[in-house]
Structure 1
Amino acid sequence: MTDVPGVRDRTVAPGPAAAVAVAPGPRRPARAGRTNRTLAGWGFALPFAVLFLVFTAGPVVASLVMSVTDLRSADLLDPFGVNVVGLDNYVRLFGDEKFLTAAGNTAVFVVVGVPLTMALSLLVALGLNSGLVRFRTLLRVGYYLPVVTSIVAISVVWRFVLQPDTGLLNEILGFFGIAGPNWLGNETFALPTLIVMGAWRNLGFGMVIFLAGLQAIPKDLYEAATVDGARRFARFRYLTLPLLRPTMLFVAVITTIGYVQFFEEPFVMTQGGPLDSTLSMAYATYNQFGFGNYGYASAMGYVLFVIVVLLSIVWFKLLRNNVDD
């Protein structure tokens, strides 16, 4: 009964249903459930982990060890006769004229090829995104097709197109009375020709990424800018480019990594010639492995790896600050 005057006691006596106690069932320990989930996760990850250790991490560590030795192909029969030379292989690289030539060619390929590829990719993406171009789906497929086509097949076709006497390009130039040069046999034209070919082949990749970035920009922003009196170039400069910087960062890093390692084009089309004018760092590393200089070639490979990392950091420094803003 309640002690407050005027307030009726509403306490309900427990009925038979309330008196029934539910007996707790057997409870599974939480620790056992977490253990089973952990074991299941490791079970799914184990095949990948084994393959990664055997085919990726293992060779990376082995090549790092090889880079500080004088290992040659003849030493494979007597691995205990290999000498540790420390950083001598790396010091030797900076006095190797052929390697320095390859580094210079690679630098030209990257410095010219990456901006050219990005500019062409963005230009094509802007055209396809404008809505003024017909058959956009067909064009997207056509531009992207070289990306998924074998680079060896593409290089063979380009080599026939660029033949000095019977090549299609010189035949077209001859129709207009222009004598075309030996594109791949001339020291002046060989590397620029490979740069143009690389830009054409990788244009489709950048186009797809830029097109996705353009379609992610809200149209309301363009409508508001138009109402405020911004013209087309102003909208592109002050609206499109700033909002595309994350996309530009991704395309720049991926394209740079690919161009630093360019190998198939000179291997198939010029064999590094003429006069080493198209010799790349990756091709020079391949040649050293072919000569049996495994330790020296491994040092070349790690220098190439450091260059890729440094260039990626440079792109992040140039574009990341604007991305974070």
Structure 2
Amino acid sequence: MKTRLTGYAFITPAMLLLLTFGVLPIAVAVVVSFTDMNLAGLGDWSRIRFIGTENYDELLRDGSFWQALGNTGLFAVMGVPTVIVLSMVIALALNRSQSRFFRLLRSFYFVPAITAIVAIALVWGYLFNTQFGLLNHLLSLVGIAPVQWLSDPVIVKFSVVLVAVWRGLGLNVIIFLAALQGVPKEYLEAASIDGASEWRKTVSIVIPLLRFAIFFVTITTVIAWLQFFDEPFVLTKGGPLGASTSISLFLYQKGFSASQFGYASAGSVLLFAIIAGITLIQLRLRRRDVEY
């Protein structure tokens, strides 16, 4: 009994933080989503009215909401597999050598993950610049006309995804590198004795042993891309014509720019439900994989 109480005492601070900054905000958002709370209502609670499901009804009829939701889905479809595959390939390449240069290269790949998003936006903004940007200059060398990287409604989607992929590789590379350290070298040595090539060892031994790491990276990456916000916000503010507006940016604009807190809370509840549903599906697939 004493041991059990000691364990509860150790986890109590973490549980309190989780309840305060995790569960409580969700509960508040659910309550606010059924009201007409706005900026004026923050100082006078008597102005806040309970309006039932009106926010949800209006949200489902809002074309901008569906555009933002579609953009987010497209960003996730483009970004999630790209980040996972590239980070795994980079980790496999870096893991093959233990030289000082490759150890330094590992740090190099992690730098974007810890760089301020404002600095990233400034650098990529110059790269994407239509008139004097480096990317268009390189294209001009091979006779290609300048590309409207951030002002074309179609190309802008690929532009913000490119920046997000570049920024998100570092953390996943570190996770895969850590998982690769746990692959038993005896398996690889036995496969080498049997004449297996590097490709065969990677496909038949290494990747299957990385299943848990792949599962973890997949869940965290999917959640991150469904909450995609930083790159569209700092690079395009959601433009042009809402082409790069993600669902998180849409909710930010409604909540803080238009001060429609009830409306934005309804959208955040729907986003939470979508993320929770997708995560539960992934957990179910993982459990089935473990059972078999």
Q: TM-score, normalised by structure 1?
A: 0.81
Distance 1:195 1:301, change over 3 A: same
Residue 49 of structure 1, CA deviation: 6.2
Q: How far apart, in 2, do the equivalents of 1:94 and 1:222 lie?
A: 54
Q: How far apart, in 2, do the equivalents of 1:51 and 1:214 lie?
A: 32
Distance 1:177 1:263, change over 3 A: same
Aligned residue in 1 for 2:105: 139
SS in 2 for 1:94: helix
Q: Is 1:232 equivalent to 2:232 in the alignment? A: no
Residue 233 of structure 1, CA deviation: 2.8
SS in 2 for 1:142: helix
Residue 143 of structure 1, CA deviation: 0.3
Residue 254 of structure 1, CA deviation: 1.0
Q: Is 1:322 equivalent to 2:289 in the alignment? A: yes
Q: Which moved more, 1:234-243 or 1:79-88?
A: 79-88
Unpaired stretches in structure 1, ≥5 consecutive residues: 1-30
Aligned residue in 2 for 1:176: 142
Q: Is 1:189 equivalent to 2:155 in the alignment? A: yes
* Matched AA of 2:265: S
Aligned residue in 2 for 1:59: 25
2:59 to 93, 109, 130: 93
Q: Which moved more, 1:163-172 or 1:126-135?
A: 126-135
Q: Which moved more, 1:313-322 or 1:183-192?
A: 313-322
Q: How far apart, in 2, do the equivalents of 1:215 and 1:38 lie?
A: 36
Q: TM-score, normalised by structure 2?
A: 0.90
Aligned residue in 2 for 1:309: 276
Higher Rg: 1
Q: Note if contact 1:146-1:202 (Cα within 8 Å) is conserved in structure 2.
A: yes
Q: How far apart, in 2, do the equivalents of 1:146 and 1:127 lie?
A: 19
Q: How far apart, in 2, do the equivalents of 1:295 and 1:161 lie?
A: 39
Aligned residue in 1 for 2:248: 282
In the alignment of these two chains, the number of paired residues is 291
Residue 103 of structure 1, CA deviation: 0.3
Aligned positions of 1:1-325 closer than 5 A:
34=2, 54-131=20-97, 135-290=101-256, 291-323=258-290
Q: How far apart, in 2, do the equivalents of 1:113 and 1:154 lie?
A: 18
Q: How far apart, in 1, do the equivalents of 2:181 and 2:5 lie?
A: 41
Q: State the identity %.
A: 38
Q: Note if contact 1:127-1:133 (Cα within 8 Å) is conserved in structure 2.
A: no
Q: Which has the higher contact order (CA 8 A, sep 6+)?
A: 2
Unpaired stretches in structure 2, ≥5 consecutive residues: none
Bigger proportion of residues as helix: 2
Q: How far apart, in 2, do the equivalents of 1:80 and 1:119 lie?
A: 53
Q: How far apart, in 2, do the equivalents of 1:52 and 1:243 lie?
A: 32
